[in-house]
Amino acid sequence: MSISGIAVLINILSFLWHYIVPLLAVILLVRLAFKMWYHYVSEDFITGLDWVLLEMKVPREVSKTPLAMELFFTNALYQKGYKGIWETWWQGAVRLWFSLEMVSIGGQVHFFIRTPSRIKNLVESQLYAQFPGAEIDEVKDYPPEILNPKTGPWNAWGCEYTLEKEESIPIRTYVDYGLDKADVEEQYKVDPLTPTIEFLGSLEPGEQVWIQILVRIADREYHKRGAWFGHIDWIERAYEFMEEIMKPYTRYHVGLAKGHEGEIAQEVRLPDHLRDNIESIKRKISKPGFDCGIRTVYIAKKNVFTKTRYRDMRLIFRQFSNPDNNSFKRISSTQFDYPWADPLGVSDKVIRARIVERYRMRMMFYPKLRYSFKYPFPINFFFPSHEPHPFIMNSEELATIFHFPGRVSETPTFERIESRTSKPPFNLPT
C-alpha cells in the first residue's frame, strides 16, 4: 500500500473513531436509558395491581366440551386495551395477564385462575355463563413464603416450556381428539388432559406439583423479514411462514395460448403432509391468539422428595404432541446435564429458589430488570439467569391444555361438587 493510501485509511479510521463511534455510543446509551426507565415505571405499575385467586369446582357430570372453556378464554381473558404513549412510558401501564393453574397438594387436585381484582366480576360471570353448575371461591394463595427450597426443609425441581417448532404451527388439540363433538358418549371419549389429572392425583402427602399457564392477549411484534425496518404481528408472521413452506413447490408458467400471451400463472404442488400443515396453520390463526408461558414445579419435603416425580413431569404434555405439527419442549430446567456444570452446587440452589419465586410472582411477560436478560459467563455461574420464553397459542390450544374433564377422568382426589349449591350472584356483570 502506498503512503497516500495509508494516509487515506488513517483519515477514515480517525473519522470513525471521532464521529461514528461516539454517535453509536450515544444511541446505545439512550436505548439503554429508555429500557431501564420502562422497567422502572412498569414495575411500579405492576406492584400497584391487586390480584385475586379463584378456585373452581365443577359438578361430577360435566357435559360441556372444551369449547366452553375456549369461549371463556375469548370472552373474559382476551383483554384488548390499547395503551398509548403516555400510559406506557410515563404511567408504566401494561396489558393485563392471567394465570391458569392446575395444582396437586398431597394428591388433592385443584383448578385455579389468578386474575386482576378489577375484572374479577367479569371472570366469574363468564365462568358461570359456560359452567352454570360450577362453584367459584376466592381463596388464599397456595405457594406461601415458607416453601423455600434454598433454606427450608423443602426440595424442588422445575422447568419452563416452549414450542419445539415455529409457533405458527399448532399442537394437537381437543378437536384432533374428537372432543368438539358433544354427542359422543362419555365412555368413548379420549381426553388428553386425563393423564395429567391422574398424575396429579397420585401424589403422596408432603408432595406438591404446580402447573402454571400464564396468558395475555398476543402483543408481541416481529421483525419483518427482508426489510431494515418494520414490524408485523403473529398472524402476518404466520403468512410469511406459509409462503416459505410453499416456495420450493411453487412454479410459474408464462401463458402462450392465444389471448393469454405473457400472462404468468402460479401453480403450487404441495406434498400431502405439508398441505395438512398449511391447513392447520390457517385454523390456528383464525382464532384469538394469546402470549403464553408454561412453568411446572415439583416441590416436596426432603424426606419424601423423589426423582421419579419429575421424571413423570417431563411427560405431562407429551399427549399434545403431533409429529407433523408441533409439540412442547422443556427449557430452563433446574436439572444440569453434566456434573461439572455445577460441581459446587452453587447454581443449583439459586435456580431452584428462583423458579419457585417466579412461579409465586407469576412472572413471565414483564420480568423484573434483573430477570430480563441472561448474564454472561462467568457471572452466570454464580447468578444463573435466563430470559423468559413466551410463545403464542390460540384459544383452541389453550382450552386443550386447561379445561374441566368430564366423567372420563375418575381420579378420586379430583374434588367435584354433586350439584350446584347456590345460584351465581345476581349482580355479576354480563
Q: Which three cell numbers stand for residue 304?
A: 419424601
What pLDDT, on the 0 to 100 scale, is given for residue 71? Answer: 96
Per-residue pLDDT of the chain (430 residues; tens, 9 = 90+): 677 778 888 888 888 888 889 999 999 999 889 888 888 888 899 989 999 999 999 877 777 889 999 999 999 998 876 667 888 888 888 889 999 999 999 999 999 999 999 999 999 999 999 998 889 999 999 876 555 656 667 888 898 999 999 999 999 999 999 988 877 776 678 889 999 999 999 999 989 999 999 999 997 777 666 666 667 889 999 999 998 888 888 876 555 444 555 555 566 788 888 888 899 999 999 999 999 999 999 998 888 998 888 888 888 899 999 888 999 999 877 766 656 556 566 667 777 888 888 899 999 998 877 776 676 666 666 666 667 889 999 999 999 999 988 765 565 555 655 555 445 555 555 5
pTM of the predicted protein model = 0.85
Query: Do residues 299 and 156 touch, judged by C-beta distance below 8 A?
Result: yes
CA-to-CA distance for 35 and 40, rounded, in angstroms?
A: 9
The topology under which CATH files domain 52-218+288-401 is Vanillyl-alcohol Oxidase; Chain A, domain 3 (3.40.462)
Strands (E), 239-319: 250-254, 264-268, 289-301
Contact by Cβ (8 Å): 69, 180: no
Partners of 160 in beta bridges = 295, 331
Are 130 and 395 in contact by the 8 Å Cβ rule? The answer is no
| 409 Cβ neighbours under 8 A, 6+ residues apart | 191, 193, 194, 197, 198
Length of the chain (residues):
430
8 Å CB contact between 415 and 68 = no
Cα distances (angstroms) measured from residue 121 to each of 111, 118, 387, 425: 18, 8, 33, 10
Cell 430480563 belongs to residue: 372
| Residue 240: half-sphere exposure toward Cβ, Cα within 13 Å | 15
Residue that is written with C-alpha cell 358418549 in the block: 185
DSSP 3-state of 379: helix
Query: Is residue 139 within 8 Å of residue 56, measured between CB atoms?
Result: no
pLDDT score at 35: 85
pLDDT at 29: 93
- Sequence-ordered strand ranges (E) for 140-229: 154-163, 207-217, 222-223
